[in-house]
Amino acid sequence: MVAEELFQRKEYPILLVISGPSGVGKDTIARSLIDTAPDRFYFVVTATTRPPRPGEVHGRDYFFLSNDEFAEMIENDDLLEYAVVYNDFKGIPKQQIRDALGSGRDVIMRVDVQGAATVRKIIPNAILVFLTTESEEELERRLRERKSEAPDDLSLRIATARQEMKRIDEFDYWVINAEGDQDTAVHQIASIIEAAHCQVHRSPVKL
Amino acid sequence: MVAEELFQRKEYPILLVISGPSGVGKDTIARSLIDTAPDRFYFVVTATTRPPRPGEVHGRDYFFLSNDEFAEMIENDDLLEYAVVYNDFKGIPKQQIRDALGSGRDVIMRVDVQGAATVRKIIPNAILVFLTTESEEELERRLRERKSEAPDDLSLRIATARQEMKRIDEFDYWVINAEGDQDTAVHQIASIIEAAHCQVHRSPVKL
């Protein structure tokens, strides 16, 4: 950056990934963040083959696809990344990222831990946030309270969450989504975004 | 960081340097930032041989020293760094930094551009913020309106400010202190501090 550019501040949109183990509250925090300033953020809608949870809306929360529809997206190379997450497929439609970057708004993605590593490889200047609970017990409790999981799914998810916790070093930031205080987590992520816009050495996100 | 540490979040105090050319408003912004949460921040008081401006208090805004007193601090190696800034000496007492780090609070320093480079060498994980105006004309206007400067000082300061603008690449963040909207600058610096506390790869500040 040279002095002449200094007064023509470039406001590159940033791409922020909210990740973390299943059960930490990625969906809730991402949604609350968007709600603080809907005109400022572009929420990348993920495709999944899992059934909707109560209140979830197709096209807003997820694209709920059949296995055949998902398979077609894979075959057409329409997905930035995809993975099997507890017997269900989840993936990020490339078109979503293109639309998001084209919008000029800050892009918010919600991706599982293995997916976040893939995003980093493809988009090196993505900002990766690891969302966690305040304790391991609290994470177990939240997974248990999710009525949607079968008991054998539960122990698998707890074991997976423990493994995923070890990958925090691959992330830029970590934020605690403490029980009863999700505002702090949302505020911290908003601060991470605001700080990113002030970075001297920030380059545009490209796909 | 390993998984066991994840739930014992380490809140290392950070050390943030507010820098930028003369006239951008370093003193005002630093003071306003501290005032948002006086218990959270430790403001490092700089030593100077320049006379106090109206309203400035010895020991709170600066340590106003005589040339002899300043020379004694240099001789005793009591200063982290010092420099001649427009015929006046300015320096950071080492004891201030030790007290600041010992307080457990976030440390806020206000240092000129050449001093910021020195701080980076001595404290590599210091966070360097370059404060600027929204335009070069605005910076000139502010320098002109400072009744305290003699005319020959003014042209020197404008020329120096132009040179200092070129050193922005040495900084981590830049923040615009726009005329009539200092709240935005203060909010952005607060966000930079909050984001720093969320960084996965943050180590304690040492002197």
Q: How far apart are CA B35 and CA B92, in angstroms?
A: 21
In chain B, residues 177-196 whose CB comes closer than 8 Å to chain A:
187-188, 190-192, 194-196
Interface contact flag, B9 A176, Cβ < 8 Å: yes
Q: How far apart are CA A184 and CA A171, in angstroms?
A: 19
Q: Could you give the 3-state DSSP secondary structure of residue A133?
A: coil
Residue A72 lies in a domain: no
Min Cα distance A94 → chain B (Å) is 28
Min Cα distance A139 → chain B (Å) is 11
Interface contact flag, B169 A201, Cβ < 8 Å: yes
Q: Which residues of A touch B173 (CB under 8 A)?
A: 195, 198-200
Residue of B nearest to A178 (CA): B7
Element (H, E) at A80: strand A79-85
- The number of folded domains in chain B is 1
Q: How far apart are CA A155 and CA A149, in angstroms?
A: 10
Single-letter residue type at B178: A
The string of pLDDT tens digits covering residues B87-128 is: 889 999 999 988 998 898 999 999 989 889 999 998 999 999
Residue B162 lies in a domain: yes
Vertex B75, ends B70 and B80: CA angle to 5°? 75
Q: Kindly tell me if the per-residue pLDDT of B7 is higher than 90.
A: no
Residue B170 lies in a domain: yes
Contact status of A37 with chain B (Cβ, < 8 Å): no
Q: How far apart are CA A34 and CA A39, in angstroms?
A: 8
Q: Which residues of A touch B1 (CB under 8 A)?
A: 168-169
Contact status of A22 with chain B (Cβ, < 8 Å): no
Q: Binning pLDDT at 50, 70 and 90, where does residue B6 land?
A: low
Residue A111 lies in a domain: yes
Select from B165, B29, B102 the least CA-distant residue to A5.
B165
Q: Which residues of A are catalytic?
A: 53, 146, 157
Domain that holds residue A19: 3-44+105-197
**CB atoms inside a 10 Å sphere around CB B28:** 14
Q: Are A81 and A115 in contact (CB under 8 A)?
A: yes
ipTM score: 0.86
Cα B155 versus chain centre, distance = 23
- A vs B, Cβ pairs < 8 A, gives 96
Q: What backbone phi and psi angles, to 5 degrees, belong to B88?
A: -110, 150
Strands B15-19 and B41-43, sheet pairing = unpaired
Q: Which residues of B touch A7 (CB under 8 A)?
A: 132, 134-136
Min Cα distance B155 → chain A (Å) is 18
Average pLDDT over residues B5-33: 84
Q: Kindly tell me if the per-residue pLDDT of B205 is higher than 80.
A: no
Tell which wins on pLDDT, A95 or B147: A95
Residue B119 lies in a domain: yes
Q: What is the pLDDT along chain A (207 residues), one digit of tens a residue?
A: 445 555 555 678 899 999 999 889 998 999 999 999 989 999 999 999 999 988 899 998 899 999 999 999 999 999 998 988 778 899 999 999 889 988 989 999 999 898 899 999 989 999 999 999 988 888 888 888 876 656 667 888 888 888 888 899 999 999 999 988 999 999 999 999 999 999 998 777 777
Q: How far apart are CA A164 and CA A158, in angstroms?
A: 10
Select from B160, B163, B187 the least CA-distant residue to B175.
B187
DSSP label at B132?
A: E
Q: Kindly tell me if the per-residue pLDDT of B2 is higher than 60.
A: no
Contact status of A173 with chain B (Cβ, < 8 Å): yes
CA distances from B127 to A31, A60, B19, B196 (A): 31, 38, 11, 9
Residue B125 lies in a domain: yes
Min Cα distance B190 → chain A (Å) is 8
Residue B186 lies in a domain: yes
Q: How far apart are CA B80 and CA B101, in angstroms?
A: 14
pLDDT at B165: 87
Segment among A129-133, A152-156, B42-46, B168-172 with least mean pLDDT: A152-156
Interface contact flag, A166 B3, Cβ < 8 Å: yes
Q: How far apart are CA B25 and CA B22, in angstroms?
A: 8
Measure CB to CB from residue A198 to each of B7, B169, B188 and give the nearest one. Answer: B188
Q: What backbone phi and psi angles, to 5 degrees, belong to B2?
A: -105, 170
Interface contact flag, B200 A9, Cβ < 8 Å: no
Interface test with B, best of A139, A162, A170, A194 (most B CBs within 10 A): A194
**CB atoms inside a 10 Å sphere around CB A155:** 12
**CB atoms inside a 10 Å sphere around CB B59:** 8
The CATH code of the domain that includes B36 is 3.40.50.300
Q: Could you give the 3-state DSSP secondary structure of residue A167?
A: coil
Residue B14 lies in a domain: yes
pLDDT at A2: 43
Interface contact flag, B7 A134, Cβ < 8 Å: yes
Q: Binning pLDDT at 50, 70 and 90, where does residue B137 land?
A: confident
Interface contact flag, A200 B130, Cβ < 8 Å: yes
Q: What is B31-92 written as a DSSP string? A: HHHHHH-TTTEEEPPEEESSPPPTT--BTTTEEE--HHHHHHHHHTT-EEEEEEETTEEEEE
**CB atoms inside a 10 Å sphere around CB A12:** 15
Q: Binning pLDDT at 50, 70 and 90, where does residue B73 land?
A: very high
